[in-house]
Amino acid sequence: MKYSYLILLLACLFLAGCQEKKIGVEGTVTRKGQPLISGTITFTPDATQGTMQGANAITTIQDGKFTLPDKFGISGGWYKVIISGEVTVTGEGDNATAKQEFKDYITSFEFKKDNSSPITIDIPN
């Protein structure tokens, strides 16, 4: 019986050590050369480039900068990077309308597990 607990403990330690390390991502986002005032940036594994595993991650963009901490980071590999821009709301109540400043911008990046270099994305439209 005492060997059962030892085997269970060793299995738990092994599995805990095998969890994939996540990497944080930081960088800047500009549109037509100017910092994007606000928006979101989403990272999704890019299966078309061979990255079949990994979790999605999302963070906010403020004054052209974003930071995705390691804790909420991504695995290495190719990721689709989706930038959603600010939404302008005009009017009030039933007369309110929302307009997204631009269509979602999608690009792809390869993230290496040992590379923590900031990325820069310029939205052309």
Grade residue 14 by pLDDT with cuts at 50, 70 and 90.
very low
pLDDT at 113 (0 to 100):
78
pLDDT category at 10 given cuts 50, 70, 90 is: very low
Q: Which fold has domain 21-123?
A: Immunoglobulin-like (2.60.40)
Q: Which residue has the higher pLDDT, 102 or 12?
A: 102
Per-residue tokens: 37: 């005032």
Phi/psi of residue 41, each to 5°?
-130, 130
Residue 78: per-residue pLDDT: 93
Q: What pTM did the predictor assign?
A: 0.74
Name the DSSP letter for residue 75.
Answer: -
Confidence of residue 19 (pLDDT cuts 50, 70, 90): low
Domain boundaries, the chain: 21-123
